[in-house]
Structure 1
Amino acid sequence: MLPYRNIEEAEEALSRALSFAEKLWFKYSAKKPDHILHYHNIIFLMLFYTLAPLPYVFISLGGFKNMDKYKIQPKVKDSFFNMFKCYKDVMQTFLLVVGPLQVISSSTVQWIGIRTSLPLPHLSQVFVQIVVYFIVEDFSHYWIHRMLHCKWAYEKIHRVHHEYTAPIGLAAPYAHWAEILILGLPSFLGPALVPCHITTYWLWFVLRQLEAIETHSGYSFPWSPTKFIPFYGGAKYHNYHHYVGGRSKSNFASVFTYCDYIYGTHKGYQSHKQVLEKAKL
């Protein structure tokens, strides 16, 4: 909740006029308690999880034959029933696991320094913080994901996520409830180390989910803007990890590829690509 009764007070406190975005933020957040603003995160997660996979759903179920060449595992056919079941299961996990977690963690988020106050951050600051969050999340996710492929953890927890050997966008957050909690820690680690404004916090979790949906989409489009991101893994890279399943010793990274190359967990994927290239000759 902002400590100003009106925009004039806010401008006096900042010794300058509010920007258009800051005026909008003032009107929206001035009388909302911080914990209410924090709860927005689960709303955004559910909203973007519902909307972002829809293009992939339409392409997969719409019978667009010219799109089959972009499907990574074209022999695997998806059904509306399977997709709807996946969506229902994920939304249930959001409501029963992620939702209560948002409520419990609201005081922690405020304690680490996620602010709701004015001024809003500059776009350059937002960009740098988001990049840091992706790097921190990717490195920590790599090791936790690798741990989840140990025999006990895979059979008891991570196996659920690998039910989709040919992943679909809707299955990005499809996992055992314990895995949702465990892999939520790397996503939270970046903002904990480098606190930000709550709007950046929202943006970070939305972008992370959009990236996961694209990576699990099952399609590799040549026009995807993510292909211009250095060291970005992408759908083909992660698809191999699902294709191999429990036997996978490769491609544990969530976003980038450098950890797999540094620690040697890319070799299975490299061999797989060589086999495919030879088959084309």
Structure 2
Amino acid sequence: MLPFSSLEEAAASLGRPLTHAETLWFRYSATMPDYFIYFIIFFLFFWFMVLCSLPLALIEAMSPKLVNKFKVQPNVRIPFSRVLQCYKDVFIIQLIAITPIESIFIPFFKLMGIRTSLPLPSLWPEVAVQLLVYMLVEDYGVYWVHRLMHSPWAYDKFHRVHHEYTAPIGICTNYGHWVDILILSLPTVAGPAIAPCHVLTFTAWLFLRQLQAVESHCGHDFPWSPNKFIPFYGGAEYHDFHHYVGKSQSNFASTFTYCDYIYGTYKGYQYRKTCLANMKRTLSIEGNLQMLQESSHDLKSQ
């Protein structure tokens, strides 16, 4: 709840007129307790999480030819009934386990320093720098937590559920044992805990992280994917290998690839890429030789 009773009082406290965005935020949150602000954000995030992967799932179900050429595992087709079941399972686990637990821990966000007050942060450099820091902290944290979840006990007990999808789809980023989901979400809040921010920045970070997670699990390597433009970005092809192998010891990072390269957990992925490249080269050479032989035969027959 903002400590101002009017726009004029807020402007006097800041020593300047409120921006349009700050006026809207004042009217929205002035009389709303902080707990409800946080709760509404998690409520919106819940629906964003469920719905942001839906368009690709519908396209693949209704017109698979539009996206099949981009599939990382083109020979694997997940029935739409199983896709719907995955949505149902995610919805249930989020509703009965994750959301209630998050609601209990909401007061800790205020203790972490995530503020709801005025002024609003500037997009540049404040929000941009904070989001970059959060991405790097989260990526490094997920690498080690994820690697821990692939230890024999943790994998068999919890993380194997997430790997039931060896050819991942977008929604399965949130599919798994509730303990696994909570543990792997800890690095997501580590950045804001280290470098506190405004609640709107925190919201933007949650949505950005979800979009990245869906992209890495979507099973399609699109030409406009961030991995084509952002250095060391993993993307769908990189994470798809992690699911394809199953009880893998490769590709643990969530966003970037540098941790896997530094700590040597990229070698299985690199070996497979090399083998595939050699296979394509061999097939290309054989195809060219066959074409030459056919051309030679045609010339002789003439």
Q: Superposed, which structure 2 residues align to 1:199-238 within 5 Å?
A: 199-238=200-239
Q: Decide whether the 8 Å contact of 2:150 with 2:159 is kept in 1.
A: yes
Partner of 2:147: 146
* Structure 1 contact 61–78 (Cα < 8 Å) conserved: no
Single out whichever of 86-95 and 136-145 deviates more from structure 2: 86-95
Distance 2:12 2:227 in 1: 43
CA contact (8 A) 1:60 1:78 kept: no
Consecutive unaligned residues in structure 2, runs of 5 or more = 282-302
Q: Secondary structure at the match of 1:271?
A: helix
Q: Name whichever of 263-272 and 66-75 sits farther off.
A: 66-75
Match of 1:85 in 2: 85
Q: Distance in 2 between matches of 1:255 and 1:114?
A: 24
Give yes or no for contact 1:44–1:206 (8 Å, CA) kept in 2.
Answer: no
2:37 maps to which residue?
37
Query: Percent same amino acid among aligned pairs?
Result: 52
Q: Which has the larger radius of gyration?
A: 2
- Could you say which residue in structure 2 is the equivalent of 1:96? 96
Counterpart of 1:109? 109
Partner residue, 2:266? 266
Task: Determine the structure 1 residue equivalent to 2:72.
Answer: 72
Query: What is the one-letter code of the residue matched to 1:136?
Result: V
- Equivalent residues of 1:86, 1:174 under 8 A apart: yes
**1:185 equivalent in structure 2:** 186
* Secondary structure of the corresponding residue to residue 77 of structure 1: coil
SS at match of 2:190: helix
Q: Shift of residue 158 of structure 1?
A: 0.4
* 1:81 CA drift (Å): 1.3
Query: Does residue 172 of structure 2 align to residue 174 of structure 1?
Result: no
Deviation digits for residues 56-110 of structure 1 (CA, Å, limit 9, x no counterpart) = 1123112342421100111111222111111111111211222122221122111
What's 2:7 paired with? 7
State the one-letter code of the partner of 2:74. Answer: P
2: CA distance, partners of 1:63 / 1:85: 20
Distance 1:203 1:22 in 2: 16
Corresponding residue SS for 2:119: coil
Q: Secondary structure at the match of 2:31?
A: coil
Shift in CA distance, 195/181, structure 1 to aligned 2, threshold 3 Å: same
Task: Determine helix, strand or coil for the equivalent of 1:118.
Answer: coil
Tell me the distance in 2 between the aligned counterparts of 1:34 and 1:210.
Answer: 26
2: CA distance, partners of 1:225 / 1:148: 26
What letter matches 1:74 in structure 2? Answer: P
How many residue pairs are counted as aligned between the two chains?
A: 280
Counterpart Cα distance in 1 of 2:223 and 2:58: 18
Unmatched runs of 5 consecutive residues or more in structure 1: none
Query: Which amino acid letter does the alignment assign opposite residue 178 of structure 1?
Result: V
Residues 107/46 of structure 1: CA separation in 2 closer, same or farther (3 Å cut): closer
Q: Deviations over 1:16-53 (max 9, x none)?
A: 11111111101111111001011123212222123211
TM-score of the two chains, using structure 2 as the length reference: 0.90
Return the structure number with greater relative CO, CA threshold 8 A, min gap 6: 1
Retained in 1: the 8 A contact 2:220–2:236? yes
| Aligned-partner Cα distance in 2 for 1:68–1:89 | 25
Q: What is the alpha-carbon distance in structure 2 between the residues aligned to residue 93 and residue 120 of structure 1?
A: 34
1:199-228 deviation digits (Å, cap 9, x = unpaired): 111111111111000100000101224532
CA contact (8 A) 2:226 2:235 kept: no
Per-residue CA deviation, residues 168-227 of structure 1 (Å, 9 max, x unaligned), is 001011110111111121111111100000011111111111100010000010122453
Q: Could you say if the C-alpha distance between residues 226 and 24 of structure 1 is closer, same or farther in structure 2, counting changes exceeding 3 Å?
A: farther
CA distance in 2, matches of 1:216, 1:166: 9
Structure 1 moving runs of 4+ over 2 Å: 224-227
Q: Give the Cα separation in 1 of the matches to 2:130 and 2:112.
A: 15
CA RMSD across the alignment: 1.1
What's the secondary structure of 1:172's corresponding residue? helix
Where 2:106 maps in the other structure, the secondary structure is helix
What does residue 62 of structure 1 align with? 62
Distance (Å, rounded) in 2 between the aligned partners of 1:40 and 1:229: 32
